[in-house]
Amino acid sequence: MLIKTPQKSFLRESAVTDESLFQERRILLKKMGFLGAGTLLSSAGSNKVSARFFNDDDVKFSTQKLHYSQDELNVHLIKTPEQKVVSHNNFYEFGAKKHQPAELAQHFNVNPWQLTVSGECDKSITLSYDDLINMFALEERIYRFRCVEAWSMVIPWIGFSLASLLTKVAPNSKAKYVAFETLYDPKQMPGQASRFLGGGITYPYVEGLRIDEAMNPLTLMSVGLYGKTLPPQNGAPIRLVVPWKYGFKSIKSIVAIKLVEQQPPTTWNRLAAKEYGFYANVNPTHDHPRWSQASERRITSGGLLTRNRIPTLAFNGYAEEVASLYQGMDLSTYY
């Protein structure tokens, strides 16, 4: 049954359409070439498992406590409950439905791990799992997190600035962009082994930033959340967090960072360029082709269907820190 709503910005099509009709439409869109990051969601109104959050007994994963300095600047932000952060995930390597990463990533092996940083720099390095945790002083950053699908959370990430890592490798004058790559391991990541389960994405997942975006103090390499190491469904052992951009820019389970001269390809832009731009800055005045970005559903302590609609802020509320990076750019063209 189709539930009509008077305001386009309140709900996405998938949230107001019967799941069977939505899945048929999804298949049609895929055949027509309009596959996107928000297309493969199961209905928010479904009674199936994908329409709920997990209880403590549903998901088990191994994490360890981290030593870090607490964020004293953003304690006023109301954090999303931890159990919702670890059970409501987009990580297509472990399935395109929200519940699948938490279910299918539980035996993902994060140690040993290697992260290489190379390219246009003077001192390429390879970091081990222990290096990720111990090489840099860890700090908490409580950030708003905005998904392109028009839902949002507030998450207390633990990590270190990407700038501190890049400074260590000494970028040269040709380093204009930073390219990122996720682990490719179909045996551990079932979404990589199945186009159906993995949403039709070409793997490995890749992302990129301009060098000045990467060096911005807000840009974080996260190794944990809620005071503990990252669960596998949240991108263990290390992921990117760029709080003024839509969530798909914050690539997970990174194994390679490369400084490059030309703008690198990015997964969702490569798949649907008219829907997902390279910059992907949170912009309430530039709608997604199939839904408004003017408001968002903040995931809080209420149920999954709780309508905590709030206005979306330019640059996700971080305009003071990052708007100058885009001075003179038309952000509806460079979206």
3-state helix/strand/coil string of 269-331: HHHCCCCCCCCCECCCCCCECCECCCEEEECCCCCCCCCCEEECCHHHHCHHHHHHHHCCCCC
More confident residue, 267 or 8: 267
What pLDDT is stored for residue 62 in this prediction?
82
- pLDDT (average), residues 67-93: 97
Domain count, the chain: 1
Tens digit of each residue's pLDDT (9 = 90 or more) over 173-201: 999 999 999 999 999 999 999 999 999 99
**Is residue 271 in a domain?**
yes
**Is residue 137 in a domain?**
yes
- Per-residue burial over 259-276, b if 16 or more Cβ lie within 10 Å, else e, is bbeeebebbbbebbeebb
In DSSP notation, 192-216 reads HH-TTTTTTPPSSPEEEEEHHHHTS
Please measure the distance between the N-terminal and C-terminal CA atoms of the chain and give it in whole angstroms: 34
**Is residue 154 in a domain?**
yes
Which amino acid, one-letter code, is at 284?
P
**Is residue 334 in a domain?**
no
What pLDDT is stored for residue 306 in this prediction?
64
- pLDDT (average), residues 88-102: 97
- pLDDT (average), residues 6-31: 35
- pLDDT (average), residues 24-32: 38
Asked whether the beta carbons of 40 and 26 are under 8 A apart, the reply is yes
CA distance 18 to 21: 5
Asked whether the beta carbons of 140 and 157 are under 8 A apart, the reply is yes
Asked whether the beta carbons of 115 and 256 are under 8 A apart, the reply is yes
pTM to 2 decimals?
0.84
What is the CA angle 35-37-40, rounded to 5? 70
CA distance 222 to 229: 9
Q: What is the CATH number of the domain that holds 89?
A: 3.90.420.10
More confident residue, 263 or 5: 263
**Is residue 214 in a domain?**
yes
Q: Which two tokens stand for residue 46?
A: 């479904």
Bridge partners of residue 236, in order along the sequence: none
Bridge partners of residue 130, in order along the sequence: none
**Is residue 161 in a domain?**
yes
What pLDDT is stored for residue 307 in this prediction?
73
CA distance 149 to 194: 23
Categorize the per-residue pLDDT at 305 as very low, low, confident or very high, splitting at 50, 70 and 90.
low
**Is residue 168 in a domain?**
yes
CA distance 79 to 77: 6
CA distance 317 to 330: 19
How many CB atoms lie under 10 A from the CB of residue 231? 27
- Per-residue burial over 6-32, b if 16 or more Cβ lie within 10 Å, else e, is eeebbbbbbbbbebeebeeebeebeee
CA distance 216 to 242: 9
Average model confidence (pLDDT) across the chain: 86
pLDDT reading at 133 higher than 70: yes
With pLDDT > 70 as the criterion, what percentage of the chain qualifies?
81
Q: Is residue 251 classed as helix, strand or coil in its secondary structure?
A: coil
Asked whether the beta carbons of 209 and 322 are under 8 A apart, the reply is no
**Is residue 38 in a domain?**
yes
Torsion, Cα 45 49 50 54, to 10 degrees, reads: 110
Nearest Cα neighbor of 181 from 276, 261, 255 is 255
Nearest Cα neighbor of 223 from 148, 137, 146, 144 is 137
The residue segments making up the domain with residue 245 are 13-325
Question: How many helices (H) and strands (E) would you count in the chain?
Answer: 10, 12
pLDDT reading at 282 higher than 80: yes
Categorize the per-residue pLDDT at 303 as very low, low, confident or very high, splitting at 50, 70 and 90.
low
- pLDDT (average), residues 242-261: 98
Categorize the per-residue pLDDT at 150 as very low, low, confident or very high, splitting at 50, 70 and 90.
very high
